Amino acid sequence: MPELPEIANLASQMDRHLSGKQISSIEIVQPKCLNLPTGDFSQALTGARIDQASYHGKWIQVHTSQGWLLINLGMGGEILLTTRQELPPKWRAIFDFGDATCLAINFWWFGYLHYVPEGALETHEMTARLGPNVLDLSNDDLRRLIKGQRGTIKSFLLDQSKMAGIGNAYIHDILFLARLHPQRKMDGLAPGEIDALAAAIQQGLRPSLDKGGAFYEKDIFGRQGGFSMDDILIGYKETQPCPACGTPIIKIKTGSTSSFICPHCQPAG
DNA sequence: GGCCATGTTTTTAA
DNA sequence: CTTAAAAACATGGC
């Protein structure tokens, strides 16, 4: 599912290939994903010229001449730059451009398409509450964030209001790289472990970012990402040997999500 | 065919 | 307050 590397790539591609295009019409299949009634939403963005696209955590922020289009793919989906003649079989919304191309958006479950008027971005709670993009954190930033925190390290890393971008797919390798058990308590971390965590976050996300995202997601041209199963260290590799020590990887329940760990390299402590 | 796991965010409960 | 778990649904795997 899309996390920071995939979102960052999509936003970058959209910025490069959509800027300057004008939205001529909008077709919505699933009104439930909007924050406005369908008519209001369409009216707000029809005629808008796309200025630029960026991202914050798992949200893509498209700035237009008529305000912001905010996209969250939820648990996975596609944003395709295509034409009416080559539409994918399924989609939730289509933005037609004046030049015969269109943007077809699909997502499996709980995606969002939100409109926010110009200058009102800080009133959009779901993005305003996000912490800094996780790749922008320095070791000192991380240390400050951790100070005074309780709870488990996994729920901390997944808390988008602390830092934005980590999801339940990349977190397995991040915690493995830091040699930390997902259920270690935040107040029990040694300074050296925090530094290791800061390095692990970079190490766990950048390779995928550089390769265009994960193999199970597509870019706006429908091409798969270059980050393959072989690039993943331990995530989703239950029973396979740990790359560091050879101990079989196990899958455990952590709250309502699953985690993959090496029981030898990541002791519960 | 049917049951189950999946991953995000918000909401609700403990 | 803090932290954990459920709910919102669609799709693919076994």
Domains of chain A: 4-128 (3.20.190.10), 134-261 (1.10.8.50)
Distance from residue A80 (CA) to nucleotide C14 (C1'), in Å? 31
CA distance A202 to A133: 12
Q: Is the CB of A108 under 7 A from strand C?
A: yes
CA distance A249 to A229: 15
Distance from residue A152 (CA) to nucleotide C1 (C1'), in Å? 16
Residue whose CA lies closest to nucleotide B8 C1': A74
Strand C nucleotides, any atom under 7 Å to a protein CB: 2-11
3-state SS class at A198? helix
Pairing of β A23-28 and β A93-97: antiparallel
**Cβ pair A70, A127 in contact under 8 A:** yes
**CA dist A118 to A16, A124, A233, Å?**
21, 11, 43
Closest CA to A173 of A239, A224, A225, A243: A243
Q: Is the CB of A109 under 7 A from strand B?
A: yes
* pLDDT tens digits in sequence order for chain A, 269 residues long: 678 889 999 999 999 999 999 999 999 988 888 999 999 999 999 999 999 999 999 999 999 999 999 999 988 888 999 999 998 888 889 999 999 999 999 988 888 999 999 999 989 989 998 999 999 999 999 999 998 888 889 999 999 999 999 999 999 999 999 999 998 988 889 999 999 999 999 999 999 999 988 888 889 998 888 998 889 999 989 889 999 999 999 988 887 888 999 999 999 86
Helix (H) or strand (E) holding A202: helix A191-210
Count of Cβ atoms closer than 10 Å to residue A129 Cβ: 11
Whether the predicted model's global pTM rises above the 0.85 cut: yes
User: What is the 8-class DSSP label of residue A247?
Assistant: P
Q: Is the CB of A72 under 7 A from strand B?
A: yes
CA distance A204 to A231: 10
Q: Is the CB of A131 under 7 A from strand B?
A: no
For strand B, list residues 175-234 of chain A whose Cβ lies within 7 Å of it: none
